[in-house]
Structures are given as structure tokens and as C-alpha cells.
Amino acid sequence: MATKTFSIDIKEFCEVQKEVIKDMIATFGNPPTLAVIQVGDDEASNRYIKHKRSDCEEVGITFEWYHFDNTITTEQLIQEITDLLPYVDAMLVQMPLPQHIDATAVKMALDPSKDVDGFHPLSHFDPCTPLGIIQYCQMNGYDFSGKNVVIFGRSDIVGKPLARMLTDLDATVTLCHSKTRNEWNHIPNADLIVSAVGQAGFLNCYSIHIPVIDAGINFDENGKLVGDCYNTENREVTPVPGGVGLLTRLALLQNVCTARYTELLAEVAKIDAEMECGGCEAICDCNQ
């Protein structure tokens, strides 16, 4: 195979970045706190939460897990979230929620400055999977400007935000979905492909000679964890496991740190403002 576009090993990259995060957290004084909300016992969610917990513990983020059983109502869940928000730096609601819960209402209940999964429309954060993918590509020196990127899958947490973020980076994005006609016709004109469909055996890479980011997480008929791509031998395709999943987990840690850091900056700005005005309501009426 010719020289790789993305030559940095993803596992090593994540390990190095975690050390950077660990050092940053050590400067914070109090460690940041991430609250993870889970409803029910979805098996995949249990696994993702276990990973998040161990990542957080590794870098020094305080991990708090709030588990509710399936009988909780949307209103009760929103109340729990509202009560908890003042006490944590960051929060995420593990998806999927059970069918009877209004997921949109729950997302709207999040504080945009603490919504590290980027679910709230006004969230201060980019969703972790697109963020992780973009950061990794850029760390390899990849310039998205002018590139044609074909994305398969248009979900609110992967395809759509990735398309928006890449457009902002001056890429030209083709976003394919289940209703796209002749979707393979877009491949010959592409510089980069991202597959986020969630179907084992979706993308045959045999005749694809450009880099492919495989975001799929699926299980094959033998219960083995696989991505969306097959025929990947001698092709430049990110591995599954050990690929986008790790980048997503890393991006979450970064977002939690950013949430804490932003909060610290706001606290400093408040102190500065108080000092500027004399910090005393008794001698001035600035109302700060």
C-alpha cells in the first residue's frame, strides 16, 4: 500500500492525549465531575458506561453514575436531571432511552454549558464521535479544505453534525442515507469516506483506494465486534475495535475538561469584575 494518509496509530494517539488531559486536570485543583444518567439496562449502554467510567478514573475525572429503572417517567427524569445539574461540571444521558421516555424533552432539559455529548441544540460542545474523527484526521496533518467527503449515515449524533463541522472546515460533503439513490456513484469523486450506518458488511472496500473512517459498531453472526466495512485488507480503513470508538471516548474526556475549564474562566472573570468595581456593594451600586 502507498504511504498512508492517516499514519498515526489510534491507540497510541489516545494514550498520549490521555496523558495530556491527566496533566491538565492536575492543574484544576478540584477534579471535574461527569454525571452519567442511565435508564434501564441496555446491554450496549452498560458496556459504553463501563468504558467511560474507566477512562474517567484513568485521567482523574470524578465519575458519577445515576441509574434509574424503566418505570421512571419523562417528567421524573427531567426533575432528577434539573436537581443534579448545579452539582456537576458535565452531564450526559446515555442513549437510547426507553421508548416511553421523550428523548427530545430530556435533551432539552440539559444545560448547554454542561451537555458534553452535544445533544442540546444550543450545546457548547460538538458531539464526541465527529469531534474525535476530525481531531484525529487533523492530528495527521489532514486539511479538509477543498476535500470531497462522502458520509454514509445521517444520524443526529454522527452523520449530521459531522457534515456540518466538515462544511465549516471548507470540505464539500455528500451525506448519504437510506433514501439516497445510487449512493455508490458518489465514491469515485470522494477524497475521504466516513461510514456511520451501523450495518456489518455495509461497505465493500475491495475497490476503494482512498481512506475510510469506519464508525460502525456492529456484531457479526459469531458475536464478533465489527465495523461497517469489509474487504479491508491492504486498504486504509480505521480498525474496529480500536478505531473511532477510542476517538469518541477521548473526545468525551476533552469535552468534560473544557466544561470545567470554561467554568473556571467564568469564576475568574467574576472575581476580576468584583475587584474592578471594588468588590463591595457598600461603596458602589454596580450590582455585581
Contact 106, 81 (CB under 8 A): yes
DSSP-derived letter for residue 206 is T
CB of 219 to ligand NDP, least distance (A): 10
Q: Which of 32, 118, 153, 211 binds ligand NDP (CB under 6 A)?
A: 153
Q: Which of 158, 192, 229, 251 binds ligand NDP (CB under 6 A)?
A: 158
Active site annotation includes 94: yes
Q: Which of 25, 134, 217, 252 binds ligand NDP (CB under 6 A)?
A: 217
Q: What is the end-to-end Cα distance of the chain in Å, rounded?
A: 63
CB of 82 to ligand NDP, least distance (A): 26
Strand ranges in the chain using DSSP code E only, listed in sequence order: 33-39, 62-68, 90-93, 148-152, 172-176, 192-195, 203-204, 212-214, 218-219, 225-226, 229-230
* DSSP run (H or E) holding 260: helix 244-276
CB of 247 to ligand NDP, least distance (A): 7
Q: What residues between 172 and 191 interact with ligand NDP by CB under 6 A?
A: 176-180, 183
Work out whether 215 is an interface residue with ligand NDP (CB under 6 A).
yes
CB of 144 to ligand NDP, least distance (A): 20
Given the residues 17, 18, 52, 214, the one annotated as active site: 52
Task: Please compute, for residue 105, the number of CA atoms within 13 A of its CA located in the half-sphere on the CB side.
Answer: 11
Given the residues 55, 89, 115, 117, the one annotated as active site: 117
Q: What residues between 109 and 148 interact with ligand NDP by CB under 6 A?
A: 129
- Tell me whether strands 172-176 and 148-152 are parallel, antiparallel or unpaired: parallel
Contact 231, 205 (CB under 8 A): yes
Q: Which residues bind ligand NDP (CB under 6 A)?
A: 129, 152-155, 157-159, 176-180, 183, 196-198, 215-218, 244-245, 248
Known catalytic residues?
52, 94, 117
